[in-house]
Amino acid sequence: MEASDHFPSPDALNSFWMPFTPNRAFKSGRHKLLVEADGMYYRSHDGREILDSTAGLWCSNAGHNRPKITAAIQTQAAVLDFAPTFNIAHPLAFEFTHKLSHILPYDLKKVFLTNSGSEAADTALKIALAYHRMRGNGAKTRLIGRERAYHGTGFGGISVGGIVKNRMHFGTLLTGVDHLPHTHLPQNVFSKGEPEHGADLADALERLVTLHDASTIAAVIVEPVAGSTGVLIPPKGYLKRLREICDKHDILLIFDEVITGFGRLGTPFAANYFDVRPDLICMAKGITNATVPMGAVGVSNRIYDTFMQASETPIELFHGYTYSGHPLACAAGIATLETYEEEGLFARAAEISPYWQDAVHSLRDAKHVIDIRNLGLIAGIELTPREGAPTARALEVFDRCFEAGLLIRVTGDIIAMSPPLIIEKAHIDCIVETLRRVLDQTA
């Protein structure tokens, strides 16, 4: 096909209100269109290969166009395109959740299926509230999030989230919400892996307990590694301290692992990596290798059993979605989990992470760089903002990288990267060389 065959008509270009995008700038000429994908690469509408250093959007963990996953979706579409899961079901929903339960950590062996990370976050918050009410603790309604956190774009998720621009246009949101401080400290600049300083930041939860009374706090939700805000790594001991405080005050701990789940840190989940037991885990993105939208909440047996034993109505939880457990998503999920297992991709991520760490930290002396943070196959490279024009420098780097054949993600003045777990050392070298060259060219 000619490059022009891929380009939408002017009317079509104007119809799509693009998410989290400066629409006016994009539609006035800054077009970046991806038309094909395979392995570690996208292909742009003008025929150029684009090396994917972001796994799409933190989600194509096994790389693109994986044959087993593609075939599973194609086969399933021709057999059972849709079946409801309200009072009736289909076998794949049970098969997939059973397979998923085998890699979920600790006793989180029950799975509620959603369609996205945003829905998973809102679902986890609702389960937490309902759980306390089932136990006769209906006063436990307060939810605790964290500054600079991202938990999707549902009203629950942005209420407990802490990214200011995601909240500023939407009024008061949910009431009864408070926030812990974020964990980004200046003394941890250029940390490799978990920073040394800041475990005591978890003690802010004790202050909130004093302020609000533990009998009113239902749950704390955190990203083990905060991704969308610019890669904030938890200090050593921080998550364990949060767990201890939650146990002390009968507060549920929710891990939002939409980004860290499915091998991103070289383990199935961040809960495994940090050896910290959450009560609920939010999942999405890598759960189907992003081929079909799906999210999920992993729920502890203790919470699930409480619903089954204490409910006074036939339906134990009045919550769900038309597409919960969609057959195509379940087929994709099964094939994705099998691909991870058969190719040993979680272990592979762990093996290549030291090379990734050394490579990204080699940019410490690159132009404009003021901090580098990493863990597993994640990295954040923070740039000096332009005076009076925050984010402008990073956006220029984003544009220049795309033209140079590299897809990165920027948030504020931070470059965030999370490559597919199939990445090779040569890809890492190319990413770092391209970034160094682009940073040198950027004003």
Residue range 22-45, pLDDT digits in tens: 999 888 877 899 999 999 999 999
Contact between residue 218 and residue 126 where contact means Cβ atoms under 8 Å apart: no
pLDDT at 5: 64
CA distance 170 to 154: 11
CA distance 218 to 215: 8
- Hey, is 89 helix, strand or coil? coil
Backbone angles phi, psi at 384, to 5 degrees: -65, 125
CB within 8 Å of 403: residues ≥ 6 apart: none
For the sheet with 409-411, list strands across it: 369-375, 378-383, 414-417, 409-411
pLDDT at 1: 44
CA distance 283 to 276: 16
pLDDT at 29: 78
- Picking from 269, 321, 271, 265, the residue whose alpha carbon sits closest to that of residue 293 is 321
- Hey, is 328 helix, strand or coil? helix
In this structure, the strands spanning 280-283 and 252-256 are parallel
The domains found in the chain, sorted by start residue, are 3-62+344-441 (3.90.1150.10), 69-342 (3.40.640.10)
Backbone angles phi, psi at 273, to 5 degrees: -60, -45
203: Cα separation from own chain's centroid:
25
- Picking from 215, 283, 271, the residue whose alpha carbon sits closest to that of residue 243 is 271
pLDDT at 10: 76
Average pLDDT over residues 232-250: 98
For residue range 146-182, what is the model confidence (pLDDT) as tens digits? 999 999 999 999 999 999 999 999 998 999 999 999 9
- DSSP string for 329-386: HHHHHHHHHHHHHHTTHHHHHHHHHHHHHHHHHGGGGSTTEEEEEEETTEEEEEEPPB
Q: Rounded mean pLDDT of the chain?
A: 96
For residue range 68-123, what is the model confidence (pLDDT) as tens digits? 999 999 999 999 999 999 999 999 999 999 999 999 999 999 999 999 999 999 99
Backbone angles phi, psi at 339, to 5 degrees: -65, -45
- DSSP string for 156-184: HHHHH---HHHHTTSTT-SSSEEEEPP--
- Hey, is 90 helix, strand or coil? coil
CB within 8 Å of 225: residues ≥ 6 apart: 231, 232, 233, 234, 259, 260, 264, 265, 270, 375, 376, 378
Backbone angles phi, psi at 262, to 5 degrees: 65, 50
Contact between residue 221 and residue 145 where contact means Cβ atoms under 8 Å apart: yes
The answer to which of 2-16, 210-224, 401-415 has the lowest mean pLDDT is 2-16
In percent, how much of the chain has pLDDT > 70? Answer: 99
CB within 8 Å of 272: residues ≥ 6 apart: 105
Average pLDDT over residues 221-228: 97
- Hey, is 307 helix, strand or coil? helix
Q: Which residues pair with 379 in a beta bridge?
A: 374, 417
